[in-house]
A and B are shown apart, each in its own frame.
Chain A
Amino acid sequence: MLLIYCPYCEEERSELEFRQAGDAHIARPTNMTEMSDEDFEAFFFLRDNIKGLTFERWRHLNGCGRFFNAARDTVSDKFLTTYKAGLPRPDVSTLRPATEATVETYEATESNAK
C-alpha cells in the first residue's frame, strides 16, 4: 500500500484515501464545437499508456477532496512528486531516475538467466 503526498494536506497519506483519475495535463479545449474529428479523437480517446515516467491525476477523495497531479513511474510504481492542479509539469531532470534498477519482475529475472 503506497503513501501519497497530498500537496494540499501537505503530508503523506495512505493510498486508501486516494483515487487515480487518468492522465494529467490534458486541458479541455475551449473551442470544443469547432474541433475536427481527429483533434477530438486525440483529446478524448487517445492516451499513450507510457511505460516509465508518467503524469497523472489523483484525487484525495477521502481526504481534502482535491484533484492534484503526480509524476509516477509505472515500472517501479513510485511517485516521484505530486503537485497542485493547474501547475505546469515539473522539470523531469530534477526528479529521481525514472526507472530504478531494483525492480524485480519476472522478465528481469528471465533476462538475467539468459
Chain B
Amino acid sequence: MSGANRISGAGRLTPAKTARFVFDGRSYLALEGDTVASALLANGVHLVGRSFKYHRPRGIVSAGAEEPNALIGVERDVARQQPNVRATVQEVFDGAKIVSQNRWPSLSFDVGAVNNLLAPFFAAGFYYKTFMWPKQAWKHVYEPRIRAAAGLGVSPTEGDTDHYANRYAHCDVLVIGAGIAGLSAALAAAKTGARVILCDEQPEVGGALHFDTSVTVDGEDGFAWAQATAARLARMDNVTVLTRTTAFGYYAQNFVGLSERVTEHLARPDRRLPRERLWQVRAKRVVIATGAIERHMVFANNDRPGIMLASAARTFLNHFGVAVGRRVGVYTANDSAYEAAFDLKRAGVTIAAIVDSREQPSEEVLAEARALGIEVLAGHGVVDTSGKLRVASMSVARNGGGSARKIPIDALLMSAGWTPSVHMFSQSRGKVAYDFDTQRFLPGTYAQDCLSVGACNGTNDLQATIEEALAAGELMANATGFSAPEKLELQGSNAFAWTGGMAGSAEGAGPDTTVKAFIDFQNDVCAKDIRLAVREGMHSIEHIKRFTTNGMATDQGKLSNIHGLAIAAETLGREIPKVGLTTFRAPYTPVSFGTLINHSRGDLFDPTRKTPMHALEEAEGAVFEDVGQWKRAWYYPRAGEDMHQAVNRECRTVRETAGIFDASTLGKIEVVGPDAAQFLNLIYTNSWDTLKPGRCRYGIMLREDGFVYDDGVVGRMAEDRFHVTTTTGGAARVMNHMEDYLQTEFPHLKVWLTSATEQWAVIAVQGPKAREIIAPLVEGIDLSSEAFPHMSVREGRICGVPTRLFRMSFTGETGFEVNVPADFGPAVWAAISAEGEKVGACAYGTEAMHILRAEKGYIIVGQDTDGTVTPDDASLSWAVGKKKPDFVGIRGLKRSDLVADGRKQLVGLLTKDPKVVLEEGAQVVADPNQAVPMTMIGHVTSSYWSENCGRSIALALVAGGKARLGETLYVPMPDATIAVEVSEMVFFDKEGGRIHG
C-alpha cells in the first residue's frame, strides 16, 4: 500500500506502479505520477518544512507552483542537488532522496523555533532597524548569522554534472497554459494550419480538470478529453505540445521564455538528455490561459501543517487518490471549497464542518451539503487553531464575536476565492484593471499582441471559457494569416457555478498585538505586519512590500498579493486600486542557472580562438596566454627552464641568431578600390598617396578627439589594394570604426573593406639570420636588402604556396613576416622551423616579443596608451601628416588640453639599481618625502628584465616627461621607494642599424 491515506478507487494513478523514495532519511512508498507532496500526504506526512523567519512548522498548502511552504531539496548524487524545489511540483521517482530545509537539527525539533517565541522582536522592518549599529557589524556579525539562520536551501558544493539545452523557436500562436481554456484556444488555432506552441507547467495537461471531476466536454470526462486533445494536437505537424514547461517570462515583442524540465521526473535519466531546456519563443500572437490561483483565508494561526487550500485537497483526492485527513474542517468565503468537502465526504472522509464567513452562501451548495449531511456554519469564522506539528482543532465563533466552539480536526481546507493569474499579462506590460464587483485585478489595457482567456481573464463560467478560448485561438491565428473553413464548437458542463470570495483579513484574524494570521507563508508576513508598515509611514504598496517582504522571493505574490493589498487599503482608508498593485516580475517560478546558461559552459562558455599553428606550438611545449578570445604562445620553456630563463633565452636568440614568432592574430583588413588611398588618408594620420605599391608604412589611427585608437603596418599591394594590419585586440573594433566612417561619413568613396585576419597565417622571422632561414623556401622574390628593403611587401611563393611576404620588424632586427593562406600555416611553420634549427634559431612567444619591442621603444596601443594619449605624447608626431587637409582626429589634436604643457608623455625609465624591475602600473612621484597622499605624476606602462641590455627597462607616462630626461624620479612601493632616471624610449641599438641588415 502506497500510504495509509490512499483511497482505493480514487485518483488516476495506477496502484501497481510503485516507486520508493526517502524523505529526511525515512523510506516511503509512492505511486508513479505522485508528486513528493501527494506521496508524503499519502503516507500521513504533513510537516515538511520550517518557516523562513520564525521557524514555525509548516505543511503543504497547495498542489501546484504557488506552493509557499513545501520547499525541499532533491538529491541525486553529490553533484546533483537541487535546493528550494516545490514538493507539489517535483514528481517522485524511484530512489529519489528528498530532504527538508530550514531546520536544525531535525524537522520535528528545530532549535531555530525559538524565534517564534521571540516573535515580538521580529516584527516587519526589524532587520532594518536593529542591525544598523555598529556599522561594521552588519557585514561581519549580523548578516552572516542571519543568513545562516534564515536561509532557504543549501546550494551544492560540487560542479553541476548535468547539461542543459537551448532552443530558439518561432510560432504564429503561443498558448500558455493547457487547461480547458488553453486546449480550446490551441485547438482552434491549430485547425487553421498556423504554427502553434502549447505549453503547460504540469506533467499532464488539464489544469483545473486535475481536481474538478464534475466537468465534461462534449459528454466526455473533462480530464480524459484534455489528454485526448493534447495527444491529437501533438500529432499535428504544425503544433508543438510542451508539458512540464513553465512560461516564466514575457518580454518585449511577444518574446516568451519557457523552461522545460526534461529529466527531473526520471529515476535514471539518459545522461545524453539535457536536464532542462530553455525555449526562447518568438510568437506572432500569444493566448494567455494561465488560470487562477485559490487564495487562503487570513485568520489566527492559519499556518499549521494540515491547513491547505481546498482545491489542493481536491487535487490530492481526485488526481492522486489521497485523503489529506480523516476529519476535515473547511473555512471558506467561496463556493469552491464546498465541492472539495463534497468530494471528500463521498470518498468516506468526515467533514467536521464547513465554516463560511458569508451569511448567505449560495443555495445550490447549501442544498448539496444538506443532502450529504455536512454541517455548514454560515456567518462564522475560524478564530484560532491548535496543534503543534499538525492541526488538531479549529475554534469557530459567530462573526462579530461570542464564545468559540473548538472542533477537533486533522486537516483544514480554506478558500477565500480565486485570484486570476495575470502574471504573464502583467509581464507583457499590460495594465491590469480592478473589478470592484468581483474584487479582482483583471487584464485591462493590452500592450502586446496577446489575449487572456478563461479564469486568468476573470471568466468563471465553463461554457463561456470554452467559447472565449475557441474564439481567441481562431482570432489570433487569423491575425497571422491563417483561417479555418468552419468554426469549432465544444460543449462543456460542470456541477456548480462558484460565487463569493474575499480579500484581506478574515473574521478571526484577531487583534494586531499577539495574533499571527499569515498572508505570506513563505516570508512569514502576517496581517499585523502590513498594518504596522502603514503606521510606520509606508503608504506605497511598493514600500509596504519591501518593508514587510510580502510577496517577495519565489512567491512573487501568487498567494499573498491580494490579501496584503486589501489590508493595506483598509488601513490606509483607500480603495484597492488607489493603493496599486506591485509589478509582477519574471520569472514566474524560479529558473535554474543551468537553464539560463544552457550551452555556455566549459569549452562553450566563450569561443576559444586558436591560430593555425597552435597544435605545432603546443607540441613544441609552448605555454599559452589569453589575449582576448585568442590563445597565444607566451613562451617556449625547454627542459629545466622556468619562464624567466626561457624568455631570456628567446630574447637573446632573436638578437644573436633569429627567432620565429606566430603573429597570426594580428588584425588584417583588405582595403580595395580606386579611392583606397584617399580613404586611408582620412582614417590614418599619415599620408598614403605617396606610398608606392610594394612598400609599407606604419600608420596611426586616432579617434575624433585626437587620442591614439590603434596602430599597425599597412602594405600597398597595388594602386587600389592595401593590406592593413591592426593590433590583435583592436581587429574587430577597428574594422567597425572604419566601416562606420566609410558608410556614414565618406560614402562617396569607391572603396570596400574585408576582414582578412583569418585568411592568413603569419609567421614572423626576426634576427640577423632571418634571411638565411627563409631564403631556401622562397621563390619569385629577391630577398636582398637592395631589392627588398625594410618596410616592403612582395608577393611570391614560399614552400610552393602563395605568400605575401613583408619585410618589417617589431623587434628592431632584420625581419620578415610570412603571410600564407591559413591552411598552409602549419606546414610552412614547420619548414621555417626546420631551416631555423640549422642556424640555431628558436621559436619565441609573446613575452619575448613584448620585451624585444620595448628594448626598441615601440609602443603597444592599449598598454602604453590608454585612450588619453596623443601621437605627440607617444613621440609619434612624425607619423602625423602636417599638410593633410583632413583626417579623423585632426581637430581633436588642436584642442587646448592636447597641446598644453605638462601633458603625460611616454618616456623610458631606468632604475638606479639595474637589477630592480618595476611593477607595471606603479605610480611615479617627483618627491618621495612628501606627505601622503603624494602627488602622482605618472605611472609605469611597460616594465621588463632585458637580457639583451643586461638590466631592467621600463616605459612610463610621466607629466612633462620629455623635458625630464636625466631627472631622478621615484616609484614608491609598499616595501621600498625605487629611484629611477628618466631616459629615452630606445634602450637597444639606438642607431637602428640592425633593422636594415
Q: How large is the interface on B (under 10, 10 to 19, 20 to 34, 35 or more residues)?
A: 35 or more
Within residues 74 to 113 of chain A, which ones have a CB less than 8 A from any CB in chain B? 77-78, 85-86, 100-104, 106, 109-110, 112-113
Contact B431 A102 (CB under 8 A): yes
The yes or no answer to A114 lying at the interface (CB within 8 A) is yes
List residues of chain A with CB within 8 A of the CB of B705.
44-45
Which B residues, 262 to 298, have Cβ-Cβ distances below 8 Å to chain A?
280, 282
A110 touches B540 (CB 8 A): yes
The answer to whether B251 touches A1, judged by C-beta atoms less than 8 angstroms apart, is: yes
For residue A29, which residue of chain B has the nearest CB? B891
Give B418-462 interface residues, CB cut-off 8 Å to A. Answer: 426, 429-431, 445, 447
Separation of A2 and B895 alpha carbons in the complex (Å): 40
Q: Does A9 contact B (CB under 8 A)?
A: no
Quick one: given A1-B252, A102-B429, are A28 and B745 in contact (CB under 8 Å)?
A: yes
* Complex CA distance for A23 and B282, rounded to whole angstroms: 29
Q: Mark A44-56, 1 if CB is under 8 A from B, else 0.
A: 1100000000000
B-facing residues in A18-60 (Cβ within 8 Å)? 19, 21, 27-28, 32-33, 35, 37, 40, 44-45, 57, 59
- Cβ-defined partner of B744 (8 Å) among A65, A67, A112: A67
Contacts between the two chains (Cβ within 8 Å), count:
87
> Contacts A2-B253, A40-B891 given: A112-B743 contact, CB under 8 Å?
no
Contacts of B935 in A (CB 8 A): none
The answer to whether residues A110 and B542 also contact, given A61-B736, A67-B743, A102-B429 and a CB cut-off of 8 A, is: yes
Compute how far the CA of A35 lies from the CA of B895 in the bound complex, rounded to whole angstroms: 10
Nearest CB in chain A to that of B540: its residue: A113
Q: Which residues of A contact B704 (CB under 8 A)?
A: 28, 44
Contact in complex: B743, A85 (CB < 8 Å):
yes
| Docked-complex contact B743 and A66, CB < 8 angstroms | yes
Find out whether the CB atom of A40 lies under 8 angstroms from the CB atom of B539.
no
B579 within 8 A of A: yes
Chain B residues closer than 8 Å to A1, beta-carbon distance: 251-253, 255, 280
User: Which residue of B579, B740, B896 is within 8 Å of A113 (Cβ)?
Assistant: B579
In angstroms, how far is the closest chain B Cβ from the Cβ of A99? Answer: 13
Q: A28-B745, A65-B739, A67-B740 are in contact. Are A104 and B429 (CB under 8 A)?
A: yes
B151 at the binding interface (Cβ < 8 Å): no
B865-905 interface mask toward A, CB cutoff 8 Å, 1 = contact, 0 = none? 00000000000000000000110001110111000000000
CB distance from B899 to the nearest CB of A (A): 12
B429 near A109 with CB under 8 A, answer: no
Report B504-552 residues with CB < 8 Å from chain A CB. 539-542
On whether the beta carbons of A33 and B580 are closer than 8 Å, the reply is no
Q: Is B81 an interface residue (CB 8 A)?
A: no
Bound CA–CA A77/B251 (angstroms): 12
> Contact at B743–A33, with CB atoms within 8 Å?
no
Tell me whether B582 is interfacial, beta carbon within 8 Å: yes
> A114 contacts which chain B residues (CB < 8 A)?
539-540
Please indicate the chain A residues that have their CB under 8 angstroms from the CB of B426 in the complex: 104
Given the known interface contacts A1-B255, A65-B739, the answer about A103 and B542 at a Cβ–Cβ threshold of 8 Å is no
Assuming the contacts A2-B252, A113-B580, asked whether A33 and B891 have C-beta atoms less than 8 A apart, the reply is yes
Q: CA separation between A113 and B886, bound complex, in Å?
A: 58
Residue from A33, A37, A45 in contact with B890 in the complex, judged by beta carbons closer than 8 Å: A33
The answer to whether B542 touches A113 (Cβ under 8 A) is: yes
B89 CB, min distance to chain A CBs, angstroms:
27
CB pair B445 A102 closer than 8 Å: yes
Beta-carbon nearest neighbor of B703 in chain A: A44
Residue of A nearest to B889 (CB): A32
Q: Which of B577-592 contact A (CB under 8 A)?
A: 578-583
Contact of A37 among B447, B540, B744, B895 (CB under 8 A): B895
A65 to B752 CA separation, bound complex (whole angstroms): 12
Cβ–Cβ contact A44 & B892, under 8 A: yes
Interface hits, B231-283 → A, CB 8 Å: 251-253, 255, 280, 282
- Indicate which residue in A19, A40, A102, A104 contacts B895 across the interface (CB closer than 8 Å): A40
**Contact: A35 with B282, CB < 8 Å?**
no
Q: For the complex, is B747 an interface residue (Cβ under 8 Å from A)?
A: yes
The complex places the Cα of A49 from the Cα of B132 at a distance, in Å, of: 38
A86–B272 Cα distance when bound, in Å, is 52
B540 to A57, Cβ gap below 8 A?
Answer: no
A109 and B744 contact, CB distance less than 8 A: no
Distance between A57 CB and nearest chain B CB, rounded to angstroms: 7
Flag if B539 contacts A113 (CB, 8 Å): yes
On chain B, the residues within 8 Å of A37 by CB distance are 895-896
Segment 553-610 of B: residues with Cβ below 8 Å from A: 578-583
Least CB distance, B426 to chain A, in whole angstroms: 8
Interchain nearest-CB distance for B116 vs A (Å): 33
CA distance A19 to B736 in the complex (A): 10
Asked if residues A102 and B541 are in contact (CB atoms below 8 Å), the reply is: no
Residues of A within 8 A of B744 (CB): 57, 67, 85-86
Shortest beta-carbon distance from B822 to chain A in Å: 22
| Cβ A109 vs Cβ B252 within 8 A | no
Complex alpha-carbon distance, A106 and B743, angstroms: 40
Most central of B255, B581, B744 by chain A CB within 10 Å? B744
Closest Cβ of chain B to A4, distance in Å, is 10
Question: In the complex the two chains form, is A106's CB within 8 Å of B542's CB?
Answer: yes
Within 8 Å CB of B431, what residues of A? 101-102, 104
In the complex where A1-B280, A28-B745 touch, is A102 in contact with B430 (Cβ < 8 A)?
yes
Q: Which residues of B contact A14 (CB under 8 A)?
A: 282
- Please tell me which one of the listed residues B280, B447, B578, B580 contacts residue A109 in the complex, with CB atoms under 8 A apart: B580
Separation of A35 and B704 alpha carbons in the complex (Å): 13
Rounded to whole angstroms, the CA-CA distance of A21 and B255 in the bound complex is 24
Contact bitstring B599-635, A, C-beta under 8 A = 1, else 0: 0000000000000000000000000000000000000
- A114 CA / B574 CA spacing, docked (Å): 11
Beta-carbon nearest neighbor of B428 in chain A = A102
17 A–B pairs (Cβ distance < 8 Å), ordered by A = A1-B253, A3-B255, A28-B745, A32-B886, A33-B894, A40-B892, A59-B740, A67-B739, A67-B743, A67-B744, A85-B747, A102-B431, A104-B426, A110-B540, A110-B542, A113-B578, A113-B580
Q: A21-B740, A35-B891 are in contact. List 9 more A-B contacts (CB 8 A).
A: A32-B886, A33-B890, A37-B895, A40-B892, A86-B747, A106-B542, A109-B582, A112-B580, A113-B541
